[in-house]
Structure 1
């Protein structure tokens, strides 16, 4: 292998930058992922293209896209870089304590329910591990987007992933403020919701969530209507507290408001429990010591450094 070839093969940073830009279609997003400046990303890509003598990206003021040469190179490099990353992670396991960055993709609710309660404890136990947590309502491809793991409801975990059950079940609650119920009355069956102001939830895909109820084996799906549609379930609960209407959210988000009577449950006997929350990761990928430490901490097995 000559000097030029060694330079091309050995510049892991340039390859990492190239693949990050290829995945994100954005210099800025790649810079954030790699924790470097945008100018460093731009310079690295430009130098890499000059060394290869081939343009890898088409750039405009609004978009970045791969050229045909870039597409082919990215397709060849992804598995190779994945193998290199896995090899480095395996070596890292020989360290006295976990270290490195663990990137997690999770919904806002999962972050508040699963991660928020353990963050301080995890930081104290594993000070050399950096958690990079991205709030994302989409069911994205965690492998393609460079995440170590995702956290979602069990029913949403892709079948080709290894899932670690963190919470057995999640129960939903239909809630409204006492003032709203005093003015509008209480629904007694799901169909009554058609006569009420409901606070709807929109997925990031654009679809509106249809409220799902069940009682004695009878399932009801209600396409509610109302004055407000949100993509944030925390805001939905707050809007219900403000008297805007009835919200349908995971009950752990509203337990405090129920306890201090800012909210009241309705249709309690109809509100279902769903399969619990899982952390998931690709089975073919090495599980880093940092990710294992996070899983153990969430499940209550962590809190002290592993042997």
Structure 2
């Protein structure tokens, strides 16, 4: 069926003749010669096998078939123009949007509180946030960047160091107030996060790496860090506080240090970007995030 369609330039020329009322006016509008317009109309008539202009009148008037074809051509070209305009607008909107993937805890306690600062510096951009349970979310379809915790040796994108982490037990002020010194581990329930993420630090690993006796069992378990943090805020026990997530809560006094050892893991937080198809919005967001992290987490 496509082979039956006449060339678009012939349709455009004929539609201009009908719209302007004459070959002369169409030629002026399209900035071509009158013979070129006349030739285009004749080729179009030959192609479809119908007369489109009544050349017995002066000036030549469109036939009934010509009127129908010109109307359909004009309507179709208008729809194409509208579609192209919407496509350009959509592409422009995408160019001003960046989608970042991160864990629920990082999104809730680290990224979201800082986005207001980003919007002040870049009011023309929009950041979409996709959360996962994992500390190292993949650069799946739809994600331009990912904030990850881990070893940093990933090969699915360009990886940039954001900041190092520090982990220490924290609890509600009411729990800490019950003891004169550090909170005894055996005196407070331990709050655990159940995860398959190999990079996540468990209580058993924390105790082993800080040279403390291992404890067996006890405490509550949760499926994500946000739930665990809420339990700690309500005074239900002692949790491992990751500076990136509970740091603001400690700074505000909502949580306090339990007075136990601080552990600085070898793993760190990184920003992973797609190796290809990174637009201006993504580049600006990544640059701001890295600069902000460097300023906020200066070496001790």
Give the TM bin, normalised by the shorter chain.
Answer: 0.5 to 0.7
Kept after mapping to 2: 8 A contact 1:213/1:270: no
The reply to whether residue 241 of structure 1 matches residue 233 of structure 2 is: yes
**In the alignment, what sits opposite 2:32?**
none
Q: What is the rounded CA distance, in whole Å, between the counterparts of 1:156 and 1:224 in structure 2? A: 32
Q: By how many angstroms is 1:276 displaced?
A: 2.7
- Number of residue equivalences: 205
Counterpart pick for 1:108 among 104, 114, 130: 104
Q: Distance in 1 between matches of 2:105 and 2:112?
A: 10
Give a deviation string over 1:59-117, Cα, whole Å, max 9, x none.
Answer: xxxxxxxxxxxxxxxxxxxxxxxxxxxxx9xxx8xx9x993332211113333465334
Q: Distance in 1 between matches of 2:245 and 2:227?
A: 10
Q: Is the 8 A contact 1:258 1:265 kept in 2?
A: yes
Q: CA deviation at 1:201?
A: 0.6
CA separation of 1:206 and 1:297: change in aligned 2, threshold 3 A: closer
Q: 1:223 to 1:298 in 2, by over 3 A?
A: farther
Equivalent pair of 2:150/2:199 in contact (CA under 8 Å): no
Structure number with greater Rg is 2
C-alpha separation in 1, matches of 2:167 and 2:195? 17
Answer with 219-228 or 114-123: which moved more: 219-228
Shift of 1:264: 3.6
CA contact (8 A) 1:99 1:130 kept: no
The alpha-carbon distance between structure 1 residues 185 and 200, as it changes in their structure 2 partners (threshold 3 A), is farther
Aligned to 1:131, which of 127, 133, 138?
Answer: 127
Q: 2:279: which partner in 1?
A: 288
Equivalent pair of 1:196/1:245 in contact (CA under 8 Å): yes
Q: Is the 8 A contact 1:194 1:224 kept in 2?
A: no
Matched-pair contact (CA < 8 Å) for 1:114–1:298: no
The 2-side partners of 1:106 and 1:142 are apart by 10
Structure 2: tracts of 5 or more residues without a match: 4-86, 293-300
Match of 2:193 in 1: 201
From 215, 218, 222, the counterpart of 1:230: 222
Q: Which runs of 5+ in 1 are unaligned?
A: 5-87, 302-307
Rounded Cα–Cα distance in structure 1 between residues aligned with 2:257 and 2:227: 17
Structure 1 counterpart of 2:51: none
1:177 aligns with 2:169: no
Question: Quick check: 1:200–1:209 contact (8 Å CA) kept in 2?
Answer: no
Where is the strand percentage greater, Structure 1 or Structure 2?
1
Q: Which moved more, 1:199-208 or 1:121-130?
A: 199-208
* Match 1:142 to one of 139, 142, 166: 139
CA distance in 2, matches of 1:137, 1:209: 15
Contact 1:234 1:253 in 2 (8 A): no
Residues 202-229 of structure 1: CA deviation (Å, up to 9, x unaligned)? 22779996223379x7666957644422
Change (3 A) 1:166 1:289: same
Q: TM-score, normalised by structure 1?
A: 0.52
Matches within 5 A, 1:1-307: 3=2, 99-112=95-108, 115-138=111-134, 139-143=136-140, 145-155=141-151, 158-167=154-163, 169-181=164-176, 193=185, 196-203=188-195, 210-211=202-203, 212-213=205-206, 225-255=217-247, 257-258=249-250, 262-266=254-258, 268-283=260-275, 285-300=276-291
Deviations 1:124-158 (A, max 9, x none): 44444332211112344323x33112111142663
User: Cα offset for 1:297?
Assistant: 1.6
